[in-house]
Amino acid sequence: MGRIDLDKDLYEFSDIKKILKQLRGKDGCPWDKKQTVKTLSVSIEEELYELIDSLESGDPGNISEELGDVMFLIVFIANIFEENKKFSIKDVIQKNAEKLIRRHPHVFGDEVAETESDVLKKWEGIKRQERAENSVESILDSVPYKMPPLKKAYSVSDRTARNGFDWDDMDGVLKKVDEELDELKEAIKIKDKSEIEMEFGDLLFTLTNVARHAKIHPDTALRSSINKFENRFRYMEKSVKKNGNTLETISRSEIDKEWNLAKDKFK
| Res. 243: pLDDT tops 90 | no
pLDDT digits (tens, 9 = 90+) for 38-76: 999 989 999 999 999 899 889 999 999 999 999 999 999
Average pLDDT over residues 109-123: 88
Query: Buried b / exposed e across 216-242, counting CB within 10 Å, b at 16+?
Result: ebbbebeeeeeeeeeebeebbeebbee
Of residues 239, 230, 220, the one with CA closest to residue 266:
230
Dihedral sign from CA coordinates of 209, 213, 218, 222: negative
Give pTM, 2 decimals: 0.67
Instruction: For residue 1, name the pLDDT band (cuts at 50, 70, 90).
Output: low
Between CA 49 and CA 245 the distance in angstroms is 35
Report whether 79 contacts 20 (CB < 8 A): yes
| Res. 199: pLDDT tops 90 | yes
Average pLDDT over residues 6-21: 90
User: How many distinct helices (H) and strands (E) make up the chain?
Assistant: 12, 0
- Chain center to CA of 226: 16
